[in-house]
Amino acid sequence: MKKVTVILAHPFYANSNANKIIVDSLKGLENVEVRHIDELYPDGKIDVEAEQGVLIESDLIVFQFPLFWFNIPASLKNWLDSVFTYGFAFGSTGDKLKGKDFLVSTTIGGPEETYTSGGLSIEALLLHLTAIGGFTGMNNMEMIKTFGMSFVPGNDANFKVQQEAAKKHADKLADVLKK
């Protein structure tokens, strides 16, 4: 059975709605480990050996995060810079991620049209993650994304719509992880 590691980057997880639903849906799935890097490393000092060890044992690596200002959260960037090192993820001996599957799973606050004006797309905005997957020899899987996840206090109807969208996202992710 495939070993899955989910790298969760969400500095405001306690206040999250969508990502909590998604991560909670993964609990109990066999061979799935969720590593919330903001909780593991609140000071930003990454245990590189531990993280690299987990990735070596993984068959599928998932980045789960909310989009922040058209990009990944700073904690995920720090984690990437610390863990995906020369000799591990790239370079003449950096083949430890080669052949692993790589999946980006993201929630986006605004509606889709906010991110597609001017011909943009979420895939284009996050192209650097696809490039990282390719550069390290991983197999890029189709991104899972859900728009409209900004919570507006007092708007219960919108909150219910968001919860349903997050559940659909969670189901789609869980289906991929079970394969």
Average pLDDT over residues 94-98: 97
User: Which tokens belong to 128?
Assistant: 């650097």
Spatial separation of the C-alpha atoms in residues 80 and 63, rounded to whole Å: 11
Q: What is the CA radius of gyration of the chain?
A: 16
pLDDT value of residue 153: 60
pLDDT value of residue 156: 64
- The answer to whether 150 touches 109, Cβ cutoff 8 Å, is yes
pTM of the model: 0.94
Our count of domains for the chain comes to 1
Residue 81 in this model has a pLDDT that exceeds 90: yes
pLDDT digits (tens, 9 = 90+) for 146-158: 998 876 666 666 7
pLDDT value of residue 38: 97
pLDDT value of residue 130: 96
Backbone angles phi, psi at 59, to 5 degrees: -100, -30
How many CB atoms are closer than 10 A to CB 129? Answer: 21
Domain CATH code at residue 123: 3.40.50.360
Who has greater pLDDT, 52 or 30? 52
Which range marks the domain in which residue 96 is found? Answer: 4-178
Average pLDDT over residues 68-94: 96
- The answer to whether 83 touches 50, Cβ cutoff 8 Å, is no
